[in-house]
Amino acid sequence: MGIAERRSIRSCVTRPSRSQKITLGVFVLLFVIYSLTPYDSRPRSFLRFQHNVIQDYYQNTHPSDSWLFKPQPYPIDPSNDIGIIVKTGFGTRKRVSAAVRALSDETLFADTIVVQDFPLLDDQRNFTMANGKEVPVIDIIGWNLKRGALKGQEQQERVMKYTTISEAVEGEEWMLADALGKSMGWELDAMKFIPSLEYMWQTLPKKKWYIMADDDTYIIKSSLGLLLGHLDPSKPHFIGNPVGDYKGRFPHGGSSVVMSGAALSKLFSQHPEVVAEAHKESTTATWGDKLLSTTFMKIGIYLDETYRRFFNGEPPWMTRMWVDRFCLPLVSFHGLGGDDAMLHVGETFKSMPEPVFWRQLGKIYGAPNFASFVAEPIRPNMDYVGRLDEYSTTVEKVTEVDECVKICHEHTTGCLAWTFDPGRQQCNFARWAILGDVAEGRFSGINGQVAEKLEVSCHSP
């Protein structure tokens, strides 16, 4: 190649400008800093939080469900491939039988344990599922103390509280034990997360997936199986319904927490020093689910928020059918501790072998279908918005119900349901709809056109 040809080629190559070099240098510097900082450092947490914000915005504006109906690369048998931990306390112990029955209603006959924060009662036996499988009950804090995992922490206030409630139970001082369970239950709960998973890992170490749930959590097996069939259990997965700030995002325990066997293997088999530290931290940690998350962060496993829209922290009658969840399967309910709520939900969903989707709740519970709101948009003495928060919108000085309907229809992407309160002259609307609450004197409705459009966009189960 001659000199003229080489000069011609050089002239075609664009050299980076000074500003471009500076920008590139900044990105390289940030990457180096990110790579050198600890897994749980604030810079890493901040950058991951911003990534999740962007990802959430994209999923919110461009919801997609097509990937769910492609062949599952990692199909599972829920009854054999999943291990389940049900957490309970002295104050909520009577819920457990209904929780175990709910697993049977779902035919989710997975290997299951119940972990509690008080000694086993004299008449307390293991639970049994409908297929005869036994569900053992473990005093997990007592187990952790006996094996020395909390050595040196015996005088910590929280450990002493466990000792106090244990003595009350063993002394059959039931009124005292009930009072202690209600007042300190949340503190003792924080001490159950890490040892429960470690116990499960030691006794059932070959499961593809592990689930931790509260005693008032209901899990829909078919929906869970649809999700997990698309995830590789040989990779460290940690998923759930995220809450908290960037310094420690963690999955809401009541919505259920899902972890792959690979994640537990990395924690308990490869990092015993991190586990030992977590046991000590449990005596002062505020929330056990956050402690679990920060412990995973120390070994480079972060809460994956990609699947946040599958998990639900509310009972069916309070569940918000969000616009961006309409086409997705619904994995869990929470808050079913009152009366016969768990049994009622179990009876409702036990005969549904196919995945349950958020948009189907109304049909399941006999609520008016979305199309009916096109012909009859206004329903008196009803509320289809429910609880208001930072994600709902309130318009003041609205005097007519028709004006509220108009406001909703003007916000085609921001209003799925609306409620008009004539006494307060308020129009409330939101990007979700609930099954419907009786609300004397109010008027409410669902944006039927938007709901129908969303339904059409969903792929068939």
0.85 surpassed by pTM: yes
pLDDT band at 50 (very low <50, low <70, confident <90, very high): confident
CA atoms lying within 13 Å on the CB side of residue 432? 22
pLDDT of the residue at 459: 82
Predicted pLDDT at 320 = 97
Q: pLDDT band at 42, cuts 50/70/90?
A: confident
Copy the structure tokens of residue 456: 């059409």
User: What tens digit of pLDDT does each residue of 52-109 get?
Assistant: 778 877 787 877 888 999 999 999 999 899 999 999 999 999 999 999 999 999 999 9
Long-range contact set of residues 393-402: C-beta below 8 Å, sequence gap at least 24: 393/428, 393/429, 393/430, 394/426, 394/427, 394/428, 395/426, 395/427, 395/428, 395/429, 396/425, 396/426, 397/425, 398/425, 398/426, 398/427, 399/425, 401/443
Distance spanning both ends of the chain, measured CA to CA = 63
Pair 298, 40: CB distance under 8 Å: yes
Task: Return the structure tokens found at 122.
Answer: 């004299």
104-121 b/e (C-beta count within 10 Å ≥ 16 → b)? bbbebbbbbbbbbbbbee
* 364 compared with 37, residue with greater pLDDT: 364
Number of H helices, E strands in the chain: 18, 19
Predicted confidence (pLDDT) at residue 10 exceeds the cutoff of 60: no
Evaluate if residue 142 carries a pLDDT over 60: yes
**Is the pLDDT at 32 greater than 70, yes or no?**
no
CA distances from 4 to 11, 13, 114, 442 (A): 11, 15, 80, 83
Give the Cα separation of 440 and 206 in Å (integer).
54
Helix (H, G, I), strand (E, B) or coil at 418: strand
R_g over Cα of the chain = 26
The tokens describing 311, both together, are 């998990």
pLDDT in tens, 153-166: 999 999 999 999 99
Q: What are 190's two structure tokens?
A: 């924080």
Q: Are 197 and 257 in contact (CB under 8 A)?
A: no
Q: Is the dihedral angle over the CA atoms 229, 234, 237, 240 positive or is it negative?
A: positive
Q: How many CB atoms lie within 10 A of CB 357?
A: 22
Q: Quick one: angle between helices 288-297 and 193-203, nearest 10? A: 60
> Per DSSP, what are the bridge partners of residue 383?
437
Alpha helices for 62-127 (secondary structure H): 78-81, 96-105
Structure tokens at 460: 């068939």
The tokens of 10 are what? 């050089």
User: What is the number of other CB atoms lying within 10 angstroms of the CB of residue 186?
Assistant: 13
What per-residue confidence (pLDDT) applies to 65?
A: 87
382 has which bridge partners?
A: 438
Which structure tokens are listed for 59? Answer: 């999923």
User: What does the alpha-carbon distance between residue 47 and residue 17 come to, in Å, rounded to a whole number?
Assistant: 27
Handedness of CA 390, 393, 395, 399 (dihedral sign): negative
Distance of CA 119 to the CA centre of its chain: 29
Residues ≥6 apart with Cβ < 8 Å to 421: 427, 428, 441, 442
Contact 200, 85 (CB under 8 A): yes
Q: What is the pLDDT of residue 305?
A: 93
**Token pair 């293991």 in the structure block, residue:** 126
* Strand-pair partners of 258: 211, 239
pLDDT band at 19 (very low <50, low <70, confident <90, very high): confident
pLDDT number for residue 452: 94
pLDDT digits (tens, 9 = 90+) for 273-299: 999 999 999 999 999 999 999 999 999
Q: pLDDT band at residue 13, thresholds of 50, 70 and 90?
A: low
CA atoms in the 13 A half-sphere facing the CB of 198 = 24
The mean of the pLDDT values for the chain is 90
Which residue type occupies 323? V
Distance (Å, whole) CA 321 – CA 326: 6
* pLDDT-based confidence at residue 8 (cuts at 50, 70, 90): low
CA distance 65 to 327: 6
Chain mean position to CA 264: 18
**What pLDDT does residue 128 have?**
93
